[in-house]
Amino acid sequence: MGDTSNETDLLDSFPTPPQTGNRAWITLITSTSYIPGVLMLAYSLKKHNSQYPLLILYTSSINIATCTALLAESQLSNFHLLKVESLAPPNASKNLIAERFRDTWTKLRVFEMYGWERLCWLDADMLVFKNVDAVFETDMGPESEKGWWIAANHVCVCNLDRDSWAPDDWRKENCAWTGYEHPDALTNAPPVPKSGTGKKTHLLLNGGLFLFDPSKELWEKMLETLNTDESINDFMFPDQDFLAYFFLDRWKPLPWHYNALKTWRYWHPEMWRDEEVGVLHYIVDKPWNARVKTVRKERDEVDGAQVDGAGDEQEEKIAGYLGRDGETHSWWWDVYDDWAKSRRRMSGKYASYAPTLMYRLCAKPLDEQQY
């Protein structure tokens, strides 16, 4: 990378990305910090034989060198790049829980892609562990409201870490997933109550994955709401809160394995099974930013619980800001290592572009880090 003429040649050599089609996955990047996530997302979809392409929307914040590396990888992982303008509603909330969420308004531009029949949004910090094409067959809403519904997962409001930003009613007893157990939870999702009935926390959807049928009429109505509705001032999670607000009483719940938050492995262990994860959502800390560390602990120290064989030692993987995500983060690195090995066998003029970029953006192996 770095040869401007080569980059321009590659950009010019690719056909115009498709603006219409039947079905596709879709995501967005507005920062190079998410490039490792989006490349592994694309690779994992391809690895598990999805029949649908991934559309990667990007903004002007992604430079030409990065776009070139993405294009060099695109044919190997079946994705297309489409440039979009950033989106910022005039009444955009100033009450965000993190500044990084300001860019997520632009996620809503996926509804502008109404040349496609059906799209499924995936956050760029997700990873696919089995073929989940079946989600596209989800029946959404009555025929009389066709195209005005979405499908998504419930928000988990357990807040077992007691984050200060969370509303007072974000408690395990108010979480829609509480009480759901394996194997029933694989096919049965918590119902969405009619607004004004049930717990209001059960009306909240998670914007990490959602299925929708884009149309010009839907997009124009969304734009009208974005530009005129003052409720937007109060949203902490811009796109997610907007979707729950706009599609109130018009969203279909999906089973947990389509958007498996990594925290559910220890927050909802009665529901979680490692082997059943379809799409893993790496919320908060991103696995590519730090390598997984391994420590040896006595068995009665692991997870703070007494277990059989107390006093024996076992290895525990450490990752995440509270150290509890070592197992799921190690899965991401396993996929990365598999991708890197396959790319090292490639040859050609642009074969090194994506691996070089990934090496620069991802955490170095522990034995290469300087302390």
Task: Note whether 124 and 37 are within 8 A (CB).
Answer: yes
Across all residues in the chain, what is the average pLDDT? 90
235-245 pLDDT, tens digit per residue, is 888 899 999 99
More confident residue, 75 or 44: 44
Q: At residue 8, does pLDDT exceed 60?
A: no
CA angle 338/45/111 to nearest 5° reads 145
Predicted local distance difference test score (pLDDT) of residue 235: 83
Q: Which residue has the tokens 């040869």?
A: 3
Structural domains in the chain, sorted by start:
4-265 (3.90.550.10)
Global pTM reads: 0.91
Q: For residue 293, what are its two tokens? A: 């560390």
76-135 pLDDT, tens digit per residue, is 999 999 999 999 877 665 554 445 556 778 999 999 999 999 999 999 999 999 999 999
Predicted local distance difference test score (pLDDT) of residue 97: 47
279-281 and 150-154 as β-strands: parallel, antiparallel, unpaired?
unpaired
Task: Note whether 243 and 273 are within 8 A (CB).
Answer: no
For residue 250, the 8-state DSSP code is -
Q: For CA atoms 127, 133, 138, 143, give the dihedral sign.
A: positive
What phi and psi values does residue 81 have, to the nearest 5 degrees? -100, 135
